[in-house]
Structure 1
Amino acid sequence: MTFSIRTITRALSRRNRGIRFRPERWIALLAELDRRGERRHEAGAFLLGTRTGDLREVQDAVFYDELDPEAYKSGVCILHASAFAALWSMCRARGLTVVGDVHTHPGSAFQSEADRTNPMVAREGHIAIIVPNFAMGRPATATLGVYEYRGDHTWIDHSGGSAIRFLHNDFWSNFL
């Protein structure tokens, strides 16, 4: 029994960096991305929440097409300047900040050149999550593209096996 408690305590103590979702929020977000993308074009959302040190806590999401009705018109996510003014206004009203963004891709969840060179929020520490297959079903965490912006168009890649240690969206996230 002691070994189990020690192992669990170690695992939970490593969750002081990255991005955390309550599991039900994560599942609802994926379902809504699937619905909005109609399984044929990209869809996305800004993740609103709080940041304490290197840990971001997601408390709400604002979908791109709520800010810009034309966001998905080209098939990829494109937002115009007025969408960002509305986003910052929402953040002020809710007392939250943008801690990340999430969008879908057809096929695998790789960071495209456009994603890499045009971050949705070019602020150090911003997290960009890419969901494969237009978010159909419930993609495993290890299949997601998870990228942390470091400034000057540089990113840290937390995808694959690293995503499991950086993106906290499981049962234990309810207790942290």
Structure 2
Amino acid sequence: MSSQITKEELTRIKGSFQAKYGYEMDEWTAVILTELNDRFGNFSQTVQQSTKEIGNAAQLIKGQVHAVHFKNDRQAFFFGLGKLLSPSLIVLTGILFIAYYVGQYEKYNEISNFVEQYPNFNAFKQMIRVADIREFESKKYLVLRPAAKANSIKIGKEYEYLKKEKAVIVLLESDNQ
């Protein structure tokens, strides 16, 4: 219980209940009724205070809202477009930038992985650019011709045959690069 109740108060509560309804009330019911009355009194004050605060907040919001009226739908559309166009363009630009960055990052990773996987790749760059690749019977071949002069071999186009070693050599890069 939130407060002490005296015998005199209990007798008054029981008497007023009997006078109002015509029934006799026991002491425990009177005590419980008093406790409920105290609790609901506090609850009622809390509800009234909350209602007052909500009313104040509603008045504050109403004071900050400014109604805008338009002559027609077209005017309203262009007003909304003018308010939202700048943020929309910024967001769209950001999305496009991120998409481009992600695409470039994936390409970079793919190329980086390729170069790491094939460490001699840089030596073959010139040959890859100028090589003659042809397809015979559904298979691809690198086409090379014997070099006319040993000192002017064309990268990726000609080869030289070493008789002593019985090997074909292909120039990958020239001295003048």
What interval of TM-score do these two structures reach, taking the shorter chain for normalisation?
Answer: under 0.3
- Tell me the TM-score normalized by structure 1: 0.19
- Tell me the TM-score normalized by structure 2: 0.19
Higher relative contact order (CA 8 A, sep 6+): 1
Greater share of residues in strand = 1
Greater share of residues in helix = 2
